[in-house]
Amino acid sequence: MPAPLQAIDHDVHRAVRRIPRGKVVTYGMLAELIGLPGRARRVAAAMRKKPEGAAIPWHRVVGKRRRGVAHVAIQDPYGAQIQRGKLEAEGIVFDDKGGISLRAFGFVVR
DNA sequence: GCGGTGACTCTCG
DNA sequence: CCGAGAGCCACCG
């Protein structure tokens, strides 16, 4: 029997919280980390409802555009701008097309 | 149970 | 290089 939906949201929450400052992770990576390979959209769904006032670094979760390049995936232009501002404040570098530098990917689980 | 939707991702042209 | 199309699957009315 699969994990309760509520527990999945909790796992997403927990995984996001251990992303170190200055790094970003994609929805797909996050899905694999919590044992749901290929379920990036499920992770996005959890993020959409959870971040209401929660003390988690939600802005470090981004969408994968192609191999080695990510971008802010939030649809809401205002929220996207907030996220970008937070990331830049941590040293994340954006190119002129909103792409996020390779150097910011991944983090060591310890 | 059905159909619309999306903070995803990959493939094609 | 960029955009459209298509899988994908959980959520919601």
pLDDT digits 0-9 by tens, A7-63 = 788 899 899 999 999 999 999 999 999 988 889 999 999 998 865 666 889 999 999
Residue A104 has a pLDDT of: 77
Distance A38 CA to C10 C1' (A): 13
For CA atoms A31, A61, A23, A4, give the dihedral sign.
Answer: negative
Using the C1' atom of nucleotide C1, identify the protein residue whose alpha carbon is closest.
Answer: A97
Q: What is the pTM of this model?
A: 0.89
Closest residue (CA to C1') to nucleotide C10 in the complex? A42
Q: CA A75, CA A32: separation in Å to the nearest integer? A: 23
Report whether pLDDT(A69) > 60: yes
